[in-house]
Amino acid sequence: MAALAPPVAAVRTAVRQALRGVGGPVLVACSGGADSLALAAATAFVAPRAGLSAGLVTVDHGLQSGSAERAAAVASWAESAGLSPVEVATVVVSREGSPEAAAREARYQALIAAATRLGASAVLLGHTRDDQAETVLLALARGSGPRGMAGMPRRRDVEGVALLRPLLDVSRDETRKACAALSLNPWDDPHNTDPAYARARVRSSALPALVEALGAGVVDNLARTARLLAADAAALDAIAAAALERARRPEDALDVTELQRLPDAVRTRVLHAWARERGAPPAALSHRHVAALDALVMAWRGQGPVHLPGGLPVARRGTLLS
Ligand SMILES: Nc1ncnc2c1ncn2[C@@H]1O[C@H](COP(=O)(O)OP(=O)(O)OP(=O)(O)O)[C@@H](O)[C@H]1O
């Protein structure tokens, strides 16, 4: 028997680890790119041996010519690889805002809807260590703070479906090599190299420049930074959730004197969580809004209400915010 190529083994091991603790059928989200194709091939091998059934969903965003053919080719390969059920989900991408964000939003909605409809307990995504490093670098450059630099989580539960990222410790180079070793032909998404996209510029210029200047360890170190910050952020979020409960007063108000006792990092998290609870859309809720709320608490000089996104005013009355 031919020896198993190390990149194929690395991807399978990562999938095996991620599937531990998954109780029901899984779906691979596959674009046909090298990362998710290697993920799908590994899942087709590993899942049945772990007693799980595995299917695949490929999303056709309808944004590029030939996208329907690409989706059909991915689906037909998946069937031949033994994945079942296999679905092509066609989505309509909103023309408002950034096309990247709109496509992502439509994609995740379609993936979660497919998982719910097909009774899958988890959706597997092909983000790699390189994607994680890019995410950290982008977040650092945008000043997103520790939550952003914590990168993409290995697991996130949405509407009862676990979104899993088994390949966060696997490099893009390994997924490409795994595809080559298995004679799979990945599709190259032109968006990945289109300089119109910030992530593509990070991938093609910023990260290679950092590697050149600081050495190959940079990618791994950025991904490790994400892991460390994710653990810190989770701990701070838990502390903030408890502090929010202590600060709550009737009629959805917060007690300013409780908030003033908190360290900055906890207080701003409490205010952020509270603003989201009141209906401020997370994507529009910025550092600036939280800073203005914080000024009502810490720099009170009788200023007027803060207007949160979604048209929600928050005012201070005495020692209450509401
Ligand atoms: N059209 C799609 N259909 C299904 N899943 C998708 C699609 N596009 C992306 N995904 C999922 O989201 C993950 C991240 O995609 P993204 O486009 O951000 O990165 P990528 O590096 O281009 O990934 P890949 O090489 O797998 O296409 C993919 O690995 C895949 O699991």
Q: Tell me: do 209 and 277 sit in the same domain.
A: no
Does residue 269 form part of some domain? yes
- Cβ–ligand 1 distance for 131 under 6 Å, the answer yes
Count of structural domains within the chain: 2
Does residue 226 form part of some domain? no
- Give CA angle at 195 (94, 207), nearest 5°: 115
Does residue 133 form part of some domain? yes
> What CATH code is carried by the domain that includes residue 34?
3.40.50.620
pLDDT at position 266: 98
Domain boundary among 196, 217, 238: 217
Q: Tell me: do 30 and 87 sit in the same domain.
A: yes
Per-residue pLDDT of the chain (322 residues; tens, 9 = 90+): 678 999 999 999 999 999 998 999 999 999 999 999 999 999 999 999 999 999 999 999 988 888 999 999 999 999 999 999 999 999 988 887 777 888 899 999 999 999 999 999 999 999 999 999 999 999 999 988 888 999 999 999 999 999 999 999 999 999 999 999 999 999 988 778 888 888 899 999 999 999 999 999 999 999 999 999 999 999 999 999 999 999 999 999 999 999 999 999 999 999 999 999 999 998 889 999 999 999 999 999 999 999 999 888 999 999 999 9
Q: Virtual CA dihedral for 286, 197, 60, 157, nearest 10 degrees?
A: -40
* Cα distances (angstroms) measured from residue 29 to each of 25, 114, 175, 274: 13, 10, 15, 33
Does residue 229 form part of some domain? no
Q: Tell me: do 162 and 260 sit in the same domain.
A: no
- Cβ–ligand 1 distance for 35 under 6 Å, the answer yes
Distance 151 CA to ligand 1 centre (A): 16
Q: Tell me: do 191 and 102 sit in the same domain.
A: yes
Q: Could you tell which of 31, 176, 193 is best to mutate to test the pocket of ligand 1, judged by most ligand atoms within 8 Å of the CB?
A: 31
Q: Give me the residue label for tokens 């439509």.
A: 106
> What CATH code is carried by the domain that includes residue 264?
3.30.465
Name residue 59's beta-bridge partners: 89
Q: Using an 8 Å Cβ cutoff, are 266 and 236 in contact? A: yes
Q: Tell me: do 286 and 209 sit in the same domain.
A: no
Distance 108 CA to ligand 1 centre (A): 11
Does residue 234 form part of some domain? no
Does residue 243 form part of some domain? no
pLDDT at position 1: 61
Q: Could you tell which of 11, 27, 35 is best to mutate to test the pocket of ligand 1, judged by most ligand atoms within 8 Å of the CB?
A: 35
Does residue 309 form part of some domain? yes
Q: What DSSP string runs through 195-257?
A: TTSHHHHIIIIIHHHHHHHH-THHHHHHHHHHHHHHHHHHHHHHHHHHHHHHHEETTTEEEHH
Does residue 242 form part of some domain? no
Q: Tell me: do 294 and 196 sit in the same domain.
A: no
pLDDT at position 98: 79
ipTM: 0.91
- Cβ–ligand 1 distance for 176 under 6 Å, the answer no
Give residues with Cβ within 8 angstroms of 286, minimum separation 6: none
Domain that holds residue 266: 250-321
Residues in the chain: 322
Give residues with Cβ within 8 angstroms of 165, minimum separation 6: 18, 124, 125, 126, 127, 152, 153, 154, 155
CA neighbor of 192 nearest in space, from 203, 181, 182, 183: 203
Domain boundary among 217, 241, 258: 217
Q: The tokens of 111 are what?
A: 């993936």
pLDDT at position 193: 81
Q: Using an 8 Å Cβ cutoff, are 169 and 11 in contact? A: no
Between CA 154 and CA 165 the distance in angstroms is 5
